């Protein structure tokens, strides 16, 4: 599938955010922890939730959808093996905790690296081993088991990994005793998962300095929970409004989840107005460059750099972007250079933050010189967020662009083409 886009129009109007992809999928996994039904409201209809629904169904969940309300109910785990087809996203590894808690065994496919880096799961596995799990590698799977249930442990994480923090929490809520996580991730989606689990009966304390403490309980109950709005969609639409010199009210965008982005946007000449309904984004003046670094929450998120880099190609002067979360997340800049952008990549740490890639040769900094008009081009989507950068570039380009590999964008953005057409975009799916 591909998108054909004719650029050059200002996008204007209102757009409603969907529920957050990176919370919805984890909440579906959390529902596996109870025999009772769970209801997820504001459920996003995207590729990743579809894949996760198939995964849960194969384990024994009954899944039904009414509008944007999902009911997911797993009275019994009928299968402890997650099929290899679930390798299409990174959710299978998170099922280890619930499966070990409910049936004492689990088998999940080994996830390789992808187009943004090698993405190891050592932090996940080491924590579960400390909690009493035995984990073996067999062929293309991790085979895990536990005798007499998981037990609480002290986990010190070298890096505040989002997925590993979620995995430990999901494993700890039904474990015997207390689990303490030092250097835990505190992204809004992690906090929202904690809120859902607390409603289900879990006991989870949030301490200062990235400390999370979980006291295991014997049983969890069903829950009705509303999924928080997707802050990555909000950033994408905010960048789109400013890039096209339009004005978009992003309904339900939450200032509290976007503070670093809003500051960066204002510094380059974008503006926003926080209203009761959401945040309206527009351009205040001609754009100017900025030095910026991606970081864990509450820093500038790695998933925001791709749409933001497109804005920086339209900004006067030199901008520098230092990516400290993933070692290989600038692949899409080659495509932007082919249509007129001037982006140079570097393996140096072009920033001040402590960076795990300092001693490596990973290409993880970018220097963007602008402004550069963009022409239409033929883009191949590399990962979800690079896909949105391609869409924004195509929407501000002179002429027509083709974007191939749209399925990757559909994994995380609900009906993106239809919603953008409502804002005045000339975009067709074929
Ligand atoms: N890492 C390790 N060892 C581990 C786990 C992670 O070295 O055991 C490294 C990763 O390789 C990476 C860094 O730590 O370099 C960050 O990984 P993290 O575990 O924090 O990320 P994740 O849980 O795999 C989630 C989102 C990503 C988002 C990151 C950062 C989901 C499904 N994915 O990934 O979202 O970029 O957190 O906030 O929640 C996306 O939506 O397109 C996306 C990639």
DSSP 344-359: EEESS--SSS--TTTT
pLDDT in tens, 168-202: 999 999 999 999 999 999 999 999 999 999 999 99
**Predicted confidence band of residue 113 (pLDDT cuts 50, 70, 90):** low
pLDDT in tens, 6-54: 999 999 999 999 999 999 999 999 999 999 999 999 999 999 999 999 9
Q: Compute the average pLDDT of residues 256-269.
A: 98
Which residue has a Cα nearest atom 9 of ligand 1? Answer: 119
Is residue 124 lining ligand 1, measured as CB closer than 6 Å? Answer: yes
Decide: residue 18, CB within 10 A, 0-12 exposed, 13-18 middle, 19+ buried. buried
- Let me know: does 271 contact 281? Beta carbons within 8 Å: yes
All CATH 3.65.10.10 domain ranges in the chain, comma separated: 2-18+229-429, 21-226
- Let me know: does 230 contact 250? Beta carbons within 8 Å: no
- The two tokens of residue 248 are 């978009």
Cα separation, 82 vs 75, whole angstroms: 17
Distance 121 CA to ligand 1 centre (A): 9
Cβ atoms within 10 A of the Cβ of 227, count?
A: 24
Is residue 167 lining ligand 1, measured as CB closer than 6 Å? Answer: no
Cα separation, 170 vs 193, whole angstroms: 9
Which residue has a Cα nearest atom 33 of ligand 1? Answer: 22
Q: Where are the beta strands (DSSP E) in 1-82?
A: 2-6, 12-16, 38-41, 62-66, 69-73
Is residue 325 lining ligand 1, measured as CB closer than 6 Å? Answer: yes
Q: Where are the beta strands (DSSP E) in 29-140?
A: 38-41, 62-66, 69-73, 105-109, 134-138
Question: What is the pLDDT, as a whole number, of residue 374?
Answer: 98
Is residue 120 lining ligand 1, measured as CB closer than 6 Å? Answer: yes
For ligand 1, what atom is nearest to the CA of residue 116? 44
- In CATH terms, 21-226 corresponds, of 1.10.3720.10, 3.40.50.300, 3.40.50.620, 3.65.10.10, to 3.65.10.10
Which residue has a Cα nearest atom 31 of ligand 1? Answer: 22
The reported pTM is 0.97
The whole-angstrom distance between residue 26's C-alpha and the CA centroid of its chain comes to 11
pLDDT in tens, 48-85: 999 999 999 999 999 999 999 999 999 999 999 998 76
Residue keyed to tokens 């402004």: 371
For ligand 1, what atom is nearest to the CA of residue 119? 11
Question: Where on the phi/psi map is residue 235: left (φ > 0), alpha (ψ -120 to 50), or beta?
Answer: alpha
CB contact burial 126-146 (16+ within 10 A = b; e otherwise): bbbebbbbebeeeeebbbbbb
Question: What is the pLDDT, as a whole number, of residue 392?
Answer: 98
- Let me know: does 31 contact 9? Beta carbons within 8 Å: no
Class of domain 2-18+229-429: alpha beta
> Is pLDDT above 90 for 207?
yes
Residue 391, φ and ψ in degrees, nearest 5? -65, -45
Residues β-bridged to residue 380: 404
Is residue 357 lining ligand 1, measured as CB closer than 6 Å? Answer: no
- SS3 of 224, please? strand
pLDDT in tens, 308-337: 999 999 999 999 999 999 988 999 999 999
Residues β-bridged to residue 272: 281
Which residue has a Cα nearest atom 44 of ligand 1? Answer: 303
């Amino acid at each position: 599938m591909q998108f054909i886009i004719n650029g050059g129009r200002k996008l204007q109007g209102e757009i409603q955010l969907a529920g957050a992809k990176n919370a919805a999928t984890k909440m579906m996994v959390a529902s596996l922890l109870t025999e009772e039904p769970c209801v997820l409201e504001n459920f996003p209809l995207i590729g990743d939730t579809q894949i996760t629904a198939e995964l849960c169904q194969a384990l024994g969940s009954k899944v039904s959808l009414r509008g944007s309300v999902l009911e997911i109910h797993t009275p019994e785990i009928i299968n402890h093996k997650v099929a290899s087809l679930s390798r299409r996203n990174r959710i299978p590894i998170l099922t280890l905790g619930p499966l070990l808690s409910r049936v004492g065994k689990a088998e999940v496919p080994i996830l390789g690296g992808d187009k943004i880096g090698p993405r190891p799961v050592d932090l996940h596995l080491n924590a579960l081993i400390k909690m009493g799990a035995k984990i073996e590698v067999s062929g293309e799977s991790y085979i895990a088991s536990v005798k007499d249930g998981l037990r609480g442990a002290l986990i010190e994480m070298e890096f505040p990994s989002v997925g590993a923090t979620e995995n430990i929490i999901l494993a700890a809520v039904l474990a015997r005793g207390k689990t303490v996580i030092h250097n835990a991730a505190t992204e809004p989606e992690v906090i929202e998962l904690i809120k859902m689990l607390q409603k289900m009966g879990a006991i989870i304390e949030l301490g200062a300095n990235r400390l999370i403490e979980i006291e295991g309980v014997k049983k969890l109950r069903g829950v009705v929970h509303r999924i928080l709005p997707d802050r990555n969609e909000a950033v994408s639409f905010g960048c789109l409004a400013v890039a096209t010199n339009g004005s978009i009210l992003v309904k339900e965008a939450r200032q509290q989840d976007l503070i670093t982005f809003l500051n960066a946007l204002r510094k380059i000449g974008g503006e926003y107005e926080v209203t009761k309904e959401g945040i309206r984004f527009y351009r205040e003046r001609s754009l100017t460059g900025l030095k910026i670094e991606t970081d864990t929450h509450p820093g500038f998120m790695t998933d925001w750099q791709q749409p933001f880099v497109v804005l920086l190609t339209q900004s006067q002067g030199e901008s520098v972007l230092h990516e400290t979360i993933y070692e290989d997340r600038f692949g899409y800049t080659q495509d932007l250079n082919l249509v007129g952008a001037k982006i140079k990549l570097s393996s140096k740490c072009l920033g001040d933050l402590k960076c795990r890639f300092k001693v490596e040769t990973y290409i993880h900094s970018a220097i963007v010189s602008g402004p550069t008009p963009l022409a239409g081009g033929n883009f191949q989507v590399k990962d979800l967020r690079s896909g949105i950068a391609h869409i924004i570039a195509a929407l501000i380009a002179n002429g027509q662009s083709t974007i191939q590999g749209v399925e990757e964008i559909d994994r995380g953005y609900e009906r993106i083409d239809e919603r953008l057409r409502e804002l005045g975009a000339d975009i067709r799916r074929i």
